């Protein structure tokens, strides 16, 4: 989604020592880590999860899945940082930790909000463009919270 790139770039990323390339790398990193978070939360939660985390909002999501997603997001961000894909002159280890927490926490919050909206409007899937995964919004709901919070993090902290 081009809007995500514009959002991160609009934070005037260059003032943080970055460039358009660094903004692009951050955007790709956010997408990758969000999708790893979502995938691990689903796969591990489905296989090992017993206790539901918010059964009235999203009855299939489990505590194990949620924690696994958070660990996946943190791991993805740290691996992208360690590989040099994320600019380490901007993102120290403590900043990577915070970014991973934003992705893992806010991403799953976006997923819960979207699940609640679907329940309120009695909608199973949010479109047929990406069948088998609940629709397009299920693929991008996490980013609805991650991108603005990352933007704020860049403005206020980095």
- CA distances (Å), origin 82, targets 72, 75, 77, 78, 114: 15, 10, 9, 6, 32
CA neighbor of 34 nearest in space, from 95, 136, 110: 110
Averaged pLDDT for residues 45-56: 94
CA neighbor of 26 nearest in space, from 5, 47, 11, 53: 5
Question: Is residue 132 over pLDDT 80?
Answer: no
Q: Per this entry, what is the length of the chain?
A: 158
Averaged pLDDT for residues 72-100: 91
pTM, full prediction: 0.82
Domain count, the chain: 1
Q: Using 50, 70 and 90 to split pLDDT, how confident is the model at 10?
A: very low
Give dist(CA 111, CA 41) in Å, integer.
Answer: 11
Averaged pLDDT for residues 2-16: 51
Residue 11 has a pLDDT of 47
Averaged pLDDT for residues 5-28: 64
Averaged pLDDT for residues 9-14: 49
Question: Is residue 135 over pLDDT 70?
Answer: no
Residue 23's domain comprises: 2-156
């Amino acid at each position: 989604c081009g809007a995500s790139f514009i959002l991160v770039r609009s934070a005037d990323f260059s003032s943080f020592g970055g460039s358009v390339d660094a903004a692009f790398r951050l955007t790709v990193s956010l997408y990758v880590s969000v999708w790893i978070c979502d995938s691990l939360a689903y796969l591990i939660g489905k296989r090992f999860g017993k206790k539901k985390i918010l059964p009235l909002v999203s009855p299939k999501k489990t505590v194990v899945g949620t924690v696994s997603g958070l660990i996946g997001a943190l791991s993805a961000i740290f691996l992208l940082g360690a590989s040099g894909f994320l600019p380490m002159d901007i993102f120290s280890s403590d900043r990577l930790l915070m970014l991973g927490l934003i992705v893992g926490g806010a991403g799953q919050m976006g997923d819960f909000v979207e699940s609640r909206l679907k329940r309120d409007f009695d909608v199973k899937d949010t479109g047929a463009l990406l069948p088998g995964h609940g629709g397009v919004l299920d693929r991008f709901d996490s980013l609805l919270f991650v991108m603005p919070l990352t933007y704020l993090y860049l403005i206020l902290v980095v």
